[in-house]
Amino acid sequence: MATAAAPAYVAPPPLEGSARVWGTIALSAATFMNVLDSSIANVSLPAISGDLGVSTTQGTWVITSFAVANAIAVPLTGFMTQRFGQVRLFVASVILFMISSLLCGLAPNMTTL
């Protein structure tokens, strides 16, 4: 019994017109937010270290953890988008970001953070 071959993947056409403009704006905003988040963490490092009672050297682990999380999450985005869908992934990401930010803000010490 012969089986039918799977249809070949056909890439969607490139964005044109206003879709290209909005896509560029969205990508630029996301990149800006990533840089802004990194800058905020770097600038607030002395305050984070002081509030948690640790040295600035220990406080740099906040920046390192942020960079590692980014390095892991960014390559997985394409896979997760195909697996769960763009809207579901976006909503889940925003909710996870809000919960994580809340928990970081409530952290009483460096270990918990």
Q: What is the pLDDT of residues 28-74, one digit of tens each?
A: 998 898 888 888 888 888 888 888 888 888 888 888 888 898 889 88
Residue type present at position 61: W
Evaluate whether residue 19 is within a structural domain. Answer: no
The boundaries of the domain holding residue 83 are 34-106
Question: Quick check: is 7 in a domain?
Answer: no
Is 86 part of a structural domain of the chain? yes
DSSP assignment of 80-109: HHHHH-HHHHHHHHHHHHHHHHHHHHH--S
89 neighbors 80 (Cβ within 8 angstroms): yes
Tally of domains within the chain: 1
Q: Is 63 among the domain residues?
A: yes
Inside any domain, residue 90: yes
Does residue 66 lie in a domain region? yes
Residue 15 lies in a domain: no
SS3 call for 56? helix
Is residue 3 pLDDT above 70, yes or no?
no
Collapsed DSSP state (helix, strand, coil) of residue 70? helix
Could you tell me if residue 93 is inside a domain? Answer: yes
Give the pLDDT mean for 18-28.
91
CA distance 84 to 92: 10
pLDDT value of position 21 = 93
Q: State residue 101's pLDDT score.
A: 85
Q: How many CB atoms lie within 10 A of CB 48?
A: 21
Stated length of the chain: 113
